[in-house]
Amino acid sequence: MTTSQPAPVSPLIDADTLATALAGPRPPVVLDVRYRLGQPSRRPAYLEGHVPGAVFVDLDTQLAAPPGPRGRHPLPEPGDFGAAMRAAGVSADSQVVVYDDGQGWAAARTWWLLRWSGHSAVRVLDGGFPSWTGALETGAPAPAAGDFVPRPGALPTLDAGSAAELARKGLLFDARAGERYRGEVEPIDPVGGHIPGAVSAPTAENVLPDGRFRPVAELRARFADLGADGDQAVGVYCGSGVSAAQEVLALELAGVRAALYPGSWSEWTADSGRPVATGAERG
């Protein structure tokens, strides 16, 4: 006699399923992490209307430590991250759903941080806030404090040294736009280009025009074409470890476990002694 195993829960959730869950006996904790690089906090937009019950979490101050030699968005201290999550109502047994403006970057960063910290029951709203067609709530709720305590290390990470080694011996994806990878433009960091040996894999190609992730079969084909065939270790970096989390999520959907380089290009280029490659080739 064989025993069937339950199907794995997708790290994504659609708006209709979220609406049903919110109406159920144990609604999930919903985190609004809307964020736009280089722009003011999206909290005012959140206060004007958000998914009912959602709590706003600020990426720059609650999902990252202050910028410095470790990059523009270093990982937050576990104690600080835990305090932010407890204040948002997250407990060890909570089901958590996160959403952003639709590009998936900030939501995936939150998903990754919770997973890395040992919280497995977290999903990303596919398509983000634009996909939500239900009623909106204004103002800010006051959730009961949660009890979640981070236990970092549940997901793999890279530092500058291991990222460089992976680029040589495995597969290191650069999730930024292709022109930044090639060094043609660099609007944020002091130096353009990429880590020698890294492969260009822009996050924009992981999603459809409406911000939803591409079907799993398409993601598998995409990453297989880029070399992620299951035979070698995979890692991802971006500018500051935010958009790369979206690529880690896309890879998980495709069945590939990938390590995140949290410091990413902003940390790499903080040391002028580290090599930089330019052009379309891996270098």
Residue 7 tokens, joined? 């199907």
- pLDDT less than 70: residues of the chain: 1-8
The CATH number that domain 160-268 falls under is 3.40.250.10
Element (H, E) at 128: none
The predicted structure's pLDDT at residue 21? 97
Cross-strand partners of 71: 68
Q: How far is CA 186 from the centre of its chain?
A: 22
For residue 54, which of 131, 146, 145, 139 has the smallest C-alpha distance? Answer: 139
For residues 200 and 34, what is the distance between their CA atoms, to the nearest angstrom? 26
Q: What is the pTM for the complete model shown? A: 0.95
| Residue ranges of the chain assigned to CATH 3.40.250.10 | 12-131, 160-268
Q: How far is CA 56 from the centre of its chain?
A: 16
The predicted structure's pLDDT at residue 8? 64
How confident is the model over 101-126, as pLDDT tens digits? 988 999 999 999 999 999 999 999 99
For residues 100 and 106, what is the distance between their CA atoms, to the nearest angstrom? 6
Token pair 């958000």 in the structure block, residue: 50
Contact 181, 265 (CB under 8 A): no
How confident is the model over 204-259, as pLDDT tens digits? 999 999 999 999 999 999 999 999 987 899 999 999 999 999 999 999 999 999 99
CATH architecture of 12-131: 3-Layer(aba) Sandwich (3.40)
Catalytic residue set: 238
